[in-house]
Amino acid sequence: MSIFIDCDTRLLVQGITGRDGSFHARQMIEYGTQVVGGVTPGKGGQKFDGKVPIFNTVEQAVRETGVNSTVIYVPPMFAADAMMEAADAGIPFIVCITEGVPVLDMTKVYPFVREKGARLLGPNCPGLISPGMSKVGIIPGGICKPGPIGLVSRSGTLTYEVVFQMTRADMGQTTCVGIGGDPINGTNFIDCLAAFEADPQTKAVVMIGEIGGTDEQEAAVFVKKNMTKPVVGFIAGQTAPPGRRMGHAGAIISGSAGTAAEKMEAFEANGIGVAKRPIDVVELLRNR
């Protein structure tokens, strides 16, 4: 099994005719994802690559194709409207890949999406993949393989590295989820951990965190109180200097809060195996 997406996922691509949207739409289709429609205002009635129907609005796409998920590749200034349009149209699962969405915009989007009963993944995330079933976003399908390990990560690049090492060690994955590192995002570690705990095919979970904030510490407490499956983790930014922004908007250390050391200590205190290097995740999984 998997979490959030599977063989029944019917995907809409918002921004399907743009540079990024068109490239990754082809990648998702090639992987086997059911891409049933795209949205680009003003290009309704056309077909993407001669096959996928394009609509002017998300509402039209939902009405005519029965989509149950959408992925957003639009510029930052339009991303908030795209997320809210999808939620308003009744799509239950929304993935926003767009980087650079203003935090002020997300203070409006987040409550709106929740009010509509939808789940948002992102923004500024690589999306997710359930190997052998469906891929939504930009995670390379070639580095993944089906198996019993779930993965949730704040770091896109480290997601790829750890998944590659797991696959090379013949440790396949149920679902790999990149939640993104922005200060306000739709789905967090705890959401994914709870979903993996409920998935009977997931036997262990890898959690990849990074400096900044307290999400990893809160997730560690959740693991100890609610998880029966083994969890191992890695924290990026172990050599980052305090007070300096590192990569993501959320990766800022304030005083002692949000340091790699603090997060690693929280992991260890709550029974999560801690990897010193990404490649060490494989050995930790073997010993659990």
Residue 139, pLDDT score: 97
pLDDT tens figures, 70-84: 999 999 999 999 999
CA dist., res. 18 & res. 78, Å (int): 13
Structure tokens at 275: 């990897």
3-state secondary structure 22-66: HHHHHHHHHHCCEEEEEECCCCCCCEECCCEEEECCHHHHHHHHC
Least confident of 167-171, 192-196, 221-225, 236-240: 236-240
Chain center to CA of 10: 17
pLDDT value of position 249? 46
pLDDT, residue 258, reads 79
Per-residue confidence (pLDDT) for residue 201, from 0 to 100: 98
Per-residue pLDDT band at 245 (split at 50, 70, 90): low
- Tens of pLDDT, residue by residue over 89-107, are 999 999 999 999 999 999 9
* pLDDT tens digit sequence for 107-119: 999 999 999 999 9
Q: What is the C-alpha to C-alpha distance for residues 146 and 133, in angstroms, rounded to an integer?
A: 9
pLDDT score for 209 = 95
DSSP 240: P
Check pLDDT > 50 for residue 52: yes
For residues 262-282, average pLDDT: 95
Average pLDDT value over all residues in the chain? 94
Which residues are catalytically annotated? 248
The domains of the chain, with CATH numbers, are: 10-121 (3.40.50.720), 139-286 (3.40.50.261)
Q: What is the pLDDT of residue 251?
A: 52
Look at residue 243 and tell me whether its pLDDT is greater than 90.
Answer: no
Q: Model confidence over 121-154: pLDDT tens digits?
A: 999 999 999 999 999 999 999 999 999 999 999 9
pTM here is 0.94
The alpha-helical segments, DSSP class H, found in 129-248 are 156-168, 189-198, 215-226
Question: Stretch 9-35: mean pLDDT, rounded?
Answer: 98
**pLDDT the model gives residue 268:** 96
Q: For the segment 154-196, what is each residue's pLDDT rounded down to a tens digit?
A: 988 889 999 999 999 999 999 999 999 999 999 999 999 999 9
The answer to whether residue 1 scores a pLDDT higher than 90 is no
